Structure 1
């Protein structure tokens, strides 16, 4: 029903998708605009509604919750015009980490075939959903791993160090203009986009003509599976909050009230009106403006938390009479300090084969890092934990939004990456790279930057002596076609408290 409505109807499928992102030439090429059809020319659409989505910033979660809520209410209103319509229809979510089903990472069956059982056309099927290239979606377990995101205790992150669960502080930011992407947005959000959209087999993915809808922010909202994917991302926000009472949303006015300036968050309503909202309006899913609960926000990590060895040891020692007499015990948390450990010497250009580089580090700084791993150096301190270590892939540029690659750290020369999963640091998806590379876009040209925590890997390599921490090998292994992708610098930072 929404697809049959004209573009200038703010409750239409096209209008809602354009709120997330639109490039008219791309939509026209993909058949979403008729030859004589154009975008609405109202000031509300041009100045406020279109290209509004928030990515790579700390507004990612609340903005998308407002977007989902608007979509759900509009679809529900349309459903209620049908005979025998259910009163309790709600937007479902695609839980690709569900352990109760045989293969949760398969595309839901209702979206996978182009016809209904009765032979009618299936409006949930999208032919420009290329997956691995032939329309089959293949998502590996590691592509949707939740450990990094759900284990991080902070919503707001810091640049070059942990980006936090929810991202680094920014103003209104429509696309990936600055490297401030939170951990859950980095994964599983980004990889699912790239793996579902993909690109057509036998074509060049550097040409947007060959990409699937979900691969690019400017077309992702046109694919019906987009909404189930983002409903799950929204659910995982609730999962993170539910895991630990210390995991909390920001309380800063600059987050709660949303961005200042002329661009505000505004969504169409089912009655054809428009309504502004702020992150503070999106915090309680049971509130009248949202009015929903997820059936499952249980902990998929079974309570696993970042181990706070310093606090464990302090509490143990405090129980020993006299052992802490005369000692100053640090109890107040400090803002994290981020320090460069080292970087490689030149840019990397990716291809179809793995690409290797070496990060050479500063010896005194590495010594500070490894000292923090030794229990004797922090046994009487109550700062949160030993140093954390982060690999930064800086200024990644290219034109393939569907590109995905794995990153390995500390592999011995000649080692086969697949034989050493313990050295795999993480997966990187380049959803949004073409916009961030395009110098014609606001803040464009600098590309994407990605941050991967490698603390456990570095600690293991230090303890076993398997790698020289002063010259650390990094291997980039493409999952699909990564031709033309350039990484300006690979760097490593230590984050201390």
Structure 2
């Protein structure tokens, strides 16, 4: 058995393993380079170029598929969310939009930028408030659309934002947890694609949509299926794609549902591109852009040594343990009933070998170095069969053994494991309204509980606190869910 003491010993020495190769695609010199908008000067040419493209698309007739509203209609009619090819479909969508921008402003090397919403950099860049053509408030774009792909209700959002100028995402009590470096690092370090994309989509992705579009009852486009009417949408999804691209470049393997996207996208001339596939989105090298965080070279081989015999009394099973990355269920708990606004809903979960699971090591690809590294396993909760409520102006905080939990407890509290929200209208139809699984990494919260001497080895409480993000949410708004499964990943 690998004890906490022996794990600490493991982390003090190197690992005897095959040389690790950090792969980077061989990009052409002409590739578009997507840069970090959060660190650009307000006078950077990107902002004026992008504003020019946004204006040009607004001026196109409705018969032109490159028209601004027509590009948003692609999202509500064809987008995938809550499924395994969420990242795949959006990679195609954003890439074709980028090519349209480039053609309309006459700059072949134009590249979109990404909005890096991690910690102190997490405010919407100032030009999206200061430049009229980038400020969604200045455009009289009409949503007024219904698509069964999104849900049964008609989208009636407006040009508004719930987040204020210069307000960081980490200053919003309901959502701060999703944009902490520790949260994003735990997502980047997750080797299982289903959990990786579940954490990425369910937390920073969805919560940014809701914070920008729906906070304080704004009813802005970003909170709806017509979210791409807001110019910040495209930078938000560039950042989602960047995190996936870095995860891929670090040697992780993405799932491929082998889905086909017929007649969804249009090229720079406004012509249909035909069917695209989830398989075609897997290799970033087949696209014409790169991120400034991904080196276009191969970093050399690096190896470190470890005497495995020191840490495995049997001398023959440690490497197998280190390379085991398949998530394993270690416990579960049934739902005691639906979550309700401002009321704690606690699930008693029973687990086996929790302390051992927290102490066991796993191999993962370190986000900042792309080298194989070891750390204790991550403990992830899978909330199963979560249904979309009729009123979606709600954020649900997930806490662990929190004795002081109230609706005012902020999401950056150490006993908060994560937050999820409901990006899109309720209802049983469409990709966005049906029951879904939500993934929350409990590891850091569990360790905080353990440091206080309050963690038993056979169980703990997973507490849901649903908090309205706007006024007028009925007190009887129900969020049904089936239960919680605990995974060691």
Normalised by the shorter chain, which TM-score bucket? 0.5 to 0.7
* Count of residue pairs brought into register by the alignment: 379
Distance 1:11-1:212 versus aligned 2 partners, 3 A rule = same
Q: Alignment partner for residue 269 of structure 2, among 262, 271, 282?
A: 271
- In 2, the alpha carbon distance for the partners of 1:52 and 1:61 equals 13
Distance 1:4-1:325 versus aligned 2 partners, 3 A rule = closer
The Cα shift of 1:403 comes to 2.9
- In 2, the alpha carbon distance for the partners of 1:129 and 1:427 equals 26
Distance 1:184-1:319 versus aligned 2 partners, 3 A rule = same
Alignment partner of 1:59 is 2:85: yes
**Unaligned stretches of 5+ in structure 1?**
22-50, 81-85, 117-121, 158-163, 167-181, 299-311, 377-382
Could you tell me which residue of structure 2 aligns to residue 91 of structure 1? 112
TM-superposition CA deviations, 1:292-329 (whole Å, max 9, x none): 1211248xxxxxxxxxxxxx9x9644258x95368797
* Secondary structure of the corresponding residue to residue 489 of structure 1: coil
Could you tell me which residue of structure 1 aligns to residue 465 of structure 2? 476
RMSD: 3.6
Q: Would the aligned equivalents of 2:384 and 2:485 in 1 still touch at CA under 8 Å? A: no
The Cα shift of 1:153 comes to 1.2
Q: Alignment partner for residue 198 of structure 1, among 214, 231, 235?
A: 214
- In 1, the alpha carbon distance for the partners of 2:436 and 2:168 equals 24
Bigger fraction of residues in strand: 2
The Cα shift of 1:461 comes to 3.1
The Cα shift of 1:75 comes to 1.4
The Cα shift of 1:336 comes to 3.4
The Cα shift of 1:212 comes to 0.8
The Cα shift of 1:20 comes to 0.1
The Cα shift of 1:268 comes to 0.5
Distance 1:427-1:471 versus aligned 2 partners, 3 A rule = closer
Aligned pairs for 1:322-337 within 5 A: 323-324=313-314, 330=320, 333=324, 335-337=326-328
TM-score, structure 2 normalization: 0.67
Could you tell me which residue of structure 2 aligns to residue 465 of structure 1? 453
Distance 1:325-1:95 versus aligned 2 partners, 3 A rule = closer
Could you tell me which residue of structure 2 aligns to residue 2 of structure 1? 57
Aligned pairs for 1:14-413 within 5 A: 14-21=69-76, 51-80=77-106, 86-97=107-118, 103-113=120-130, 116=131, 122-127=132-137, 128-132=158-162, 138-140=168-170, 141-145=176-180, 146-155=184-193, 157=194, 164-166=195-197, 182-198=198-214, 205=217, 211-217=219-225, 219-242=226-249, 244-245=250-251, 247-250=252-255, 254-255=256-257, 258-259=258-259, 264=262, 266-275=264-273, 276-287=275-286, 290-297=287-294, 316-319=307-310, 323-324=313-314, 330=320, 333=324, 335-338=326-329, 340-350=331-341, 354-362=342-350, 366-373=351-358, 386=377, 388-390=379-381, 392=383, 394-413=385-404
Q: Would the aligned equivalents of 2:101 and 2:110 in 1 still touch at CA under 8 Å? A: no
* Secondary structure of the corresponding residue to residue 486 of structure 1: coil
**Unaligned stretches of 5+ in structure 2?**
1-55, 138-157, 171-175, 296-303, 362-373
Q: Would the aligned equivalents of 1:195 and 1:402 in 2 still touch at CA under 8 Å? A: no
Q: Would the aligned equivalents of 2:381 and 2:442 in 1 still touch at CA under 8 Å? A: yes
The Cα shift of 1:385 comes to 5.9
Q: Would the aligned equivalents of 1:129 and 1:135 in 2 still touch at CA under 8 Å? A: no
TM-score, structure 1 normalization: 0.66
Q: Would the aligned equivalents of 2:266 and 2:272 in 1 still touch at CA under 8 Å? A: yes
The Cα shift of 1:19 comes to 0.5
Where relative contact order (Cα < 8 A, 6+ residues apart) is larger, the structure is: 2
